[in-house]
Amino acid sequence: MTTPPGSILLVLVASFIGSFGAVFLKVGAGRLKHGLWHILNVNLALGVAFFLLSSVFFVLGIRHGELSVLYPMVALGYVWTLFWSRLFFHEPLTHQKFVGLGLILVGVFFVGLGSQ
């Protein structure tokens, strides 16, 4: 069984949408410090909604093709999240994070090569 490029694209879109889920969860989790009843806040709800939407794209993506190719692509979500952390939360992009990011990109590229 080969993995169609469309399936890979769907999983990439899923990882992208999911990374926004993490951003909203982070904002929502920050509000929890003011009391646990803040668990019902818009940001947490949006975070969960983004994760659910992302999972729909993921399931559509894995309908065809190999899971051993498609699942590792989910790791690209870490790459997007790193960018949002820098952009929205001004977290420093350290040397080590940069190395991790590079390794994930190279690894996903190799897995993609292995899909044929």
Interface contacts to another protein, rule CB under 8 A = 1, 55, 58-60, 62-64, 66-69, 71-72, 75, 78, 82, 91-92, 94, 96-97, 99-115
Tokens describing residue 84: 């949002």
In this structure, what is the dihedral angle of CA atoms 39, 45, 49, 51, given to the nearest 10 degrees?
Answer: -40
Instruction: Report the nearest approach of another protein to the CB of residue 51 (Å).
Output: 9
Mutual orientation of helices 42-61 and 5-31 as an angle, nearest 10°? 160
Nearer to another protein, 42 or 89 (CB): 89
Collect all residues with Cβ–Cβ distance below 8 Å to 67 and sequence separation of at least 6.
none
CA 78 vs. chain centroid, Å, equals 6
Nearer to another protein, 38 or 66 (CB): 66
Instruction: Report the nearest approach of another protein to the CB of residue 98 (Å).
Output: 9
Nearer to another protein, 88 or 110 (CB): 110
Tokens describing residue 115: 């899909």
Nearer to another protein, 42 or 59 (CB): 59
Instruction: Report the nearest approach of another protein to the CB of residue 82 (Å).
Output: 8
